[in-house]
Chain A
Amino acid sequence: MNLPFDIRFEKRSEDNAWWLPAATSLGAVVVAFIVSGIILKLIGGQPLVVGKFFWEATFGSWATISDTLVKATPLILVGLACSVAFKMKLWNIGAEGQFYMGAFFASLVVLVPIVPLDSPKIVIIGSMMIMGMIGGAIWGFFPGFLKAKFNVNEIITTLMLNYVAILWNNFWIFDRWSDGGFQMTPTFVKSAWLPRLADYARQYKAFSGITLHLGVIIGFAAAILVWWIFSRSRWGYEIKLIGDNPKAARYAGLNISRNIILVMMFSGALAGLAGMSEISGVVHRLQERISPGYGFTGIIIAWLAKLDPFAVIVVSILFGALIVAGREIQPSGLAQLLQGIILFMVISSDVLLRYKIRIVRTQPATA
């Protein structure tokens, strides 16, 4: 059959308007929801009912919004960690390991203990944050150093170090700090918990049962910091320059090796902070499987956000919602299905940024 028109892809030669990338990504998410709805309908489900349920489970009330944000918190930090490294074209696949090492180092503050356990909350939390970042930074340092000095492929080293970090953690929680044989340490003292809204339920009734903790503020602050680094600071300029053209960067007098190490450490520190926030804000102990693959989701988030720190927040909240929904909806695979379709749609929507689609009439219109 000959259609009376032809669909043509034409390369965009001009600059894209500033809003176009955001608009296409948003459109892609909407399309993903529609496609998921159609699939649901085809297999005999009720998409509108599921959709309503999905909404209620994630954004329907203050409590569920809080749940969504709690899930989004580690994703924001890990997504930022990946964005920072990717900006310099350093493929840090090791945020997962850096997350675990951050959690481990933060736990040392309470379990060794590094500071007296009767210290004020601010001292304990502060030391945990610093230790978490140090732990992640150390885990970023090794691949960074190897890359800078011996040009060892960071994809391999960061990936491998993930397993090392997880097993390292397991050793301590199974063998040394095990709480009565369980794969977890004893619960931390209260002053090592990140403040939650629920803690203030006595003053403000509305906060009762709301688990949202200070970690989300840390995440937002980190996003602002990363934004500032890339748009205002000298270091951010250097990172962008090296990422775009290392030869030009060397010609401009930059020390590339040092920056590889520093960026890997900064990226690791952000992922480590995510680990700290998770154990101090949510589980309140070091235990097995504190991360269901946050470090890897962070890679996807960084790309979907096109390495923009504020977009990382938006994408992380969406992914947080999907995690929460997956917990509430049966079968739980539904949320994963949606997640897969969103990914697919957003990645393929990229073509719209590079091509214009024109529908051209090929046969004369019949009157």
Chain B
Amino acid sequence: MKDGPYAVEMKDIVIRFPGVLANDNVNLTLKPGEIHALLGENGAGKSTLMNVLSGLYKQTSGTIKVQGEEVNFNSPRDAIDKGIGMVHQHFMLVPVQTVTENILIGLDTPKFYMNMNKLDEQIVTLQEKFGLQVDPKALIWQLSVGEQQRVEILKTLYRGADILILDEPTAVLAPQEIDEFMLTMRSLVDQGKSIIFISHKLQEVEEVADRITVLRKGVVTAEGIEIAGLDRRKLAQLMVGRDVIFSVAKSEQEPGDVVLSVRDLKAENNKGVPALRGVSLEVRAGETLGIAGVSGNGQSELAECITGLREAQGSVKIGGEELVNAHPMKAIKANVSHIPEDRTHVGTAPNLSITDNTIMKCYRTAPIGNGVTVNRSNARTYARELKESYDILAPGVSTLARKLSGGNLQKVILAREISSDPNLIVAVQPTRGLDVGAIEAVQRVLLAQREAGTAILLISEELEELFTLSDRIAVIFEGEIMGTVDPRDADVDTIGLMMTGTRLEDIQKGVEAQA
């Protein structure tokens, strides 16, 4: 690593929001050519700090130096001029335009005439330099999430960024895409870029980062320490301030009656392509059925068909009652809780308060409502109770949902969905994008529900989570169930094979043939 000035030096940064001290005298240094991981729980102030560095927010006090020179950003453009580019967790791309067009958006050149072929070539050259292959003529909506992320990175590189801020880049990626992404980061650093990598996946940080800075509740708990020689347990401790139990214990219990019974379910995805091709499964009371699979193999569609949000053929019975193609209200009345995959666009209303978001499914009945009115003071009391018992961090219950961090938003959803004492919980990626502390909290809640006799359908991409929580694991591939295994005697390899399209009976045949 070269000596000389730091690529970035943030000193004594204080960022204050009303009622919240988001960053309290935070220091962060980024050496040229390193990958620096910024680690912390949800709401620890990671994104806020980086939004300051990329010119979106302004610090209350403290100084920022870039390449040794003090800077004062008033807009993202100022930051870009200094070579700082941020790739946000939520992509900012225009779906109906091509890759090249998206990269050029907002630039002053070309001024009028766009020689697309020449520009495409420029983009390809850039791609080859950094190993970020995407068809420059492809339209954004046709690309996978991983490819869209590459476009976002290319966008910042094209603007001449030397310092890249990647905000939880792996949260949206499928497992195999993550490996590829790690290589990309390495090749960027080899080409002389410096990277700040926000994450809370300890394994990835260990794998790719040179140094780490850990934030906890807005305070630095580890400043720029070398990653070599740190173990995962130690990292987790710095992050949450206590020992994290990595495996939540599950009790042995006999499942009860069948609660959810799905027969030969067929449905299409939003693009009209078959997403479910005859899925059948059963979940019993007090049982958790895990659905494993690479994302985009029909998992979200399955959850939507069960909760009445998507049209389908076949049968979905809950407690013996047919629910396929019924209004979502019918599923709610059948006491089905749904923890949706998309927290911001489906699970909550961003411009309404925490109170209004927590009463979303119980405003019709006492004590919140009587069918005509909504009792505001009861609603607030109810929201305060949930805020208290689920440890939702916010200035108050009238805070707007869009001001909450991902983990706190998920807690709002969880609080709402579980406090209704459901018969069936359909949980889709309930811990995605959450930090270890929040993951554990969510998993504990799901286990408690299982013990209380609730049937749970858990759709997840985290195998560890599925093994921890499920009584049975069904693997879905291209809208079909490849097989169901017992996590006590299944191994990851078998599940991996099923996730990539081999049926369980074929695997077993293969084993027999070999024997």
**Cβ contact within 8 Å between B74 and A8:** yes
**Cβ contact within 8 Å between A241 and B352:** yes
B363 within 8 A of A: yes
Contacts of B58 in A (CB 8 A): 10-11, 13
Contacts of A234 in B (CB 8 A): 363-364, 369, 371-374
CA distance A10 to B52 in the complex (A): 12
Known: A233-B372, A233-B374. A252 touches B345 (CB 8 A): no
- Smallest CB-CB A-B distances: 8 pairs: A253-B329, A244-B349, A245-B349, A14-B18, A253-B332, A252-B360, A244-B351, A253-B328
B309 within 8 A of A: yes
B435 within 8 A of A: no
**Cβ contact within 8 Å between B327 and A251:** no
A240 within 8 A of B: yes
Contacts of A10 in B (CB 8 A): 58, 74
Give the distance to chain B from A361, nearest Cβ to Cβ, in Å: 13
**Cβ contact within 8 Å between A232 and B345:** no
**Cβ contact within 8 Å between B352 and A251:** no
Choice from B329, B333, B345, B376 contacting A247 with Cβ under 8 Å:
B345
Contacts of A13 in B (CB 8 A): 17, 57-58
CA distance A15 to B346 in the complex (A): 24
- B307 nearest in chain A by CB position: A251
**Cβ contact within 8 Å between A233 and B327:** no
**Cβ contact within 8 Å between B349 and A255:** no
CA distance A8 to B58 in the complex (A): 12
- B361 nearest in chain A by CB position: A252
A171 within 8 A of B: no
CA distance A250 to B328 in the complex (A): 7
**Cβ contact within 8 Å between B352 and A255:** no
**Cβ contact within 8 Å between A15 and B57:** no
B348 within 8 A of A: yes
A231 within 8 A of B: yes
CA distance A250 to B338 in the complex (A): 12
Interface residues of A (CB under 8 A from B): 8-11, 13-15, 231-234, 236-237, 240-241, 244-245, 247-255
CA distance A254 to B308 in the complex (A): 12
- A10 nearest in chain B by CB position: B58
CA distance A254 to B359 in the complex (A): 13
A–B complex contacts, Cβ < 8 Å, 7 sampled: A11-B56, A11-B57, A231-B376, A234-B373, A245-B350, A251-B338, A252-B360
6 A-B pairs besides A237-B363, A253-B333 with CB distance below 8 A are A233-B372, A233-B374, A248-B346, A251-B346, A252-B332, A255-B327
CA distance A234 to B341 in the complex (A): 27
**Cβ contact within 8 Å between B347 and A251:** yes
Contacts of A248 in B (CB 8 A): 345-349, 360
CA distance A8 to B372 in the complex (A): 49
Give the distance to chain B from A228, nearest Cβ to Cβ, in Å: 9
Contacts of A15 in B (CB 8 A): 18, 399
Contacts of A255 in B (CB 8 A): 327, 329
**Cβ contact within 8 Å between B57 and A244:** no
Interface residues of B (CB under 8 A from A): 17-18, 56-58, 74, 307, 309, 327-329, 331-333, 338, 340, 345-352, 356, 359-361, 363-364, 369, 371-374, 376, 399
Contacts of A233 in B (CB 8 A): 372-374
CA distance A190 to B413 in the complex (A): 60
Give the distance to chain A from B397, nearest Cβ to Cβ, in Å: 13
By secondary structure, the B interface counts as loop
CA distance A215 to B394 in the complex (A): 45
Contacts of A252 in B (CB 8 A): 328, 332, 360-361
- A356 nearest in chain B by CB position: B58
**Cβ contact within 8 Å between A14 and B340:** no
CA distance A280 to B74 in the complex (A): 57
CA distance A2 to B57 in the complex (A): 27
Contacts of B349 in A (CB 8 A): 240-241, 244-245, 248-249
CA distance A11 to B351 in the complex (A): 18
CA distance A330 to B293 in the complex (A): 76
CA distance A13 to B58 in the complex (A): 9
CA distance A14 to B399 in the complex (A): 11
Contacts of B332 in A (CB 8 A): 252-253
CA distance A14 to B376 in the complex (A): 25
CA distance A53 to B129 in the complex (A): 74
**Cβ contact within 8 Å between A245 and B328:** no
**Cβ contact within 8 Å between B373 and A241:** no
Contacts of A237 in B (CB 8 A): 356, 359, 363, 374
Contacts of B57 in A (CB 8 A): 11, 13
Known: A232-B376, A233-B372. A244 touches B309 (CB 8 A): no
Contacts of B360 in A (CB 8 A): 241, 248, 252
Choice from B340, B350, B372, B376 contacting A244 with Cβ under 8 Å:
B350
**Cβ contact within 8 Å between A240 and B338:** no
CA distance A68 to B303 in the complex (A): 58
Contacts of B18 in A (CB 8 A): 14-15
Contacts of B338 in A (CB 8 A): 251
CA distance A14 to B60 in the complex (A): 12
- A247 nearest in chain B by CB position: B346
- A250 nearest in chain B by CB position: B328
Give the distance to chain B from A356, nearest Cβ to Cβ, in Å: 9
Contacts of A232 in B (CB 8 A): 373-374, 376
CA distance A14 to B352 in the complex (A): 16
**Cβ contact within 8 Å between A253 and B361:** yes
Known: A13-B57, A245-B345. A253 touches B363 (CB 8 A): no
**Cβ contact within 8 Å between A240 and B373:** no
**Cβ contact within 8 Å between A14 and B372:** no
Contacts of B399 in A (CB 8 A): 15
CA distance A201 to B329 in the complex (A): 58
CA distance A17 to B27 in the complex (A): 31
**Cβ contact within 8 Å between A245 and B374:** no
CA distance A232 to B378 in the complex (A): 12
Give the distance to chain B from A359, nearest Cβ to Cβ, in Å: 14
Choice from A14, A240, A251 contacting B328 with Cβ under 8 Å:
A251
Known: A10-B58, A14-B17, A253-B328. A245 touches B348 (CB 8 A): yes
Give the distance to chain B from A238, nearest Cβ to Cβ, in Å: 8
CA distance A10 to B361 in the complex (A): 38
Give the distance to chain A from B258, nearest Cβ to Cβ, in Å: 24
CA distance A10 to B327 in the complex (A): 46
**Cβ contact within 8 Å between A241 and B356:** yes
Give the distance to chain B from A114, nearest Cβ to Cβ, in Å: 30
CA distance A244 to B351 in the complex (A): 6
CA distance A250 to B369 in the complex (A): 19
Give the distance to chain B from A285, nearest Cβ to Cβ, in Å: 39
- B362 nearest in chain A by CB position: A252
CA distance A80 to B348 in the complex (A): 27
Known: A8-B74, A251-B328. A240 touches B352 (CB 8 A): yes
Contacts of B373 in A (CB 8 A): 232-234
Contacts of B372 in A (CB 8 A): 233-234
Give the distance to chain A from B371, nearest Cβ to Cβ, in Å: 7
CA distance A240 to B352 in the complex (A): 8
CA distance A15 to B332 in the complex (A): 34
**Cβ contact within 8 Å between A244 and B352:** yes
Give the distance to chain A from B213, nearest Cβ to Cβ, in Å: 22
Contacts of B363 in A (CB 8 A): 234, 237
CA distance A245 to B332 in the complex (A): 18
Give the distance to chain B from A63, nearest Cβ to Cβ, in Å: 42
- A245 nearest in chain B by CB position: B349
CA distance A240 to B369 in the complex (A): 16
Contacts of B348 in A (CB 8 A): 245, 248
CA distance A252 to B349 in the complex (A): 11
Contacts of B17 in A (CB 8 A): 13-14
Give the distance to chain B from A72, nearest Cβ to Cβ, in Å: 30
CA distance A241 to B329 in the complex (A): 15
